[in-house]
């Protein structure tokens, strides 16, 4: 069960438009009703800097400066942030959840290497139109909120090795 913060203001702090360079994490957290803690700030900074989806383990290992927050805290934070919409949960086929920071990057997908697990980020997603189309055909569904799409293949490096 996820404890919901009281939403004072529910306005995302997105810079709007395509030039979302940097985001004031403190303001972002506040605008979502979260308290601004060192842990949350560092978590967002780490996720943003990583640029690639991270598992809880990854986050804990990459944590710098201070001691990493407890794993339970990381799970709680990431889940809350995901519900709030500034972090996306992604399945890379590894069986463990990975999280990606979304405010500064447009919606996109990935290719994962079956050999070494390398992840490459793909350009803009072109599935929005498809969603509308699907809803016309669907018997049971009247709305689509999101989708997950990941490709699996072999990266150049692994292709050479084999």
Binding site for a copy of itself (CB under 8 A): 89, 91, 93, 95, 97, 111, 113-114, 118, 120, 122-123, 126, 130-131, 134, 137-157, 159
On whether the CB atoms of residues 77 and 62 are closer than 8 A, the answer is: no
Could you tell me which residues come within 8 angstroms of residue 137 by beta carbon, excluding any fewer than 6 positions away? Answer: none
Contact stretch for DNA (CB under 7 A) within 14-22, 45-53, 67-75, 126-134:
67-75
d(C-alpha 12, C-alpha 65), whole Å: 29
Binding mask of the shown chain, residues 100 to 139, with x at each position contacting DNA by CB under 7 A: ----------------------------------------
101 and 86 Cβ atoms separated by less than 8 Å: yes
Which of DNA, a copy of itself, none sits in contact with 1, Cβ below 5 to 8 A by type?
DNA
Rounded to 5 degrees, φ, ψ at 64 are: -125, 160
Question: Which pair of tokens denotes residue 150?
Answer: 């990941």
Q: Is the dihedral of CA 49, 55, 59, 62 positive or negative?
A: negative
* Min separation Cβ 13 and DNA, Å: 13
Nearest approach in angstroms of CB 11 to a copy of itself is 23
By CB under 7 A, name the binding residues for DNA.
1, 3, 5-6, 8, 26, 29-30, 34-40, 55-57, 67, 69-73, 75-77, 79-80, 95-97
């Amino acid at each position: 069960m996820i404890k919901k913060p009281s939403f004072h203001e529910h306005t995302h702090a997105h810079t709007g438009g395509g030039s979302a360079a940097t985001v004031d994490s403190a303001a972002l957290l506040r605008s979502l009703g979260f308290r601004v803690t060192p842990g949350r700030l560092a978590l967002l900074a780490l996720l943003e800097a990583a640029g690639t989806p991270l598992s809880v383990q990854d986050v804990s290992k990459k944590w710098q400066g201070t001691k990493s927050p407890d794993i339970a805290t990381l799970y709680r934070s990431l889940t809350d942030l995901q519900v709030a919409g500034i972090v996306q949960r992604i399945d890379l086929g590894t069986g463990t959840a990975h999280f990606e920071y979304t405010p500064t990057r447009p919606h996109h997908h990935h290719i994962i290497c079956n050999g070494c697990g390398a992840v490459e980020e793909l350009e803009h997603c072109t599935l929005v139109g498809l969603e509308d189309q699907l809803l016309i055909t669907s018997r049971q569904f009247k709305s689509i909120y999101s989708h997950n799409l990941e490709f699996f293949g072999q990266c150049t490096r692994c292709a050479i090795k084999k």
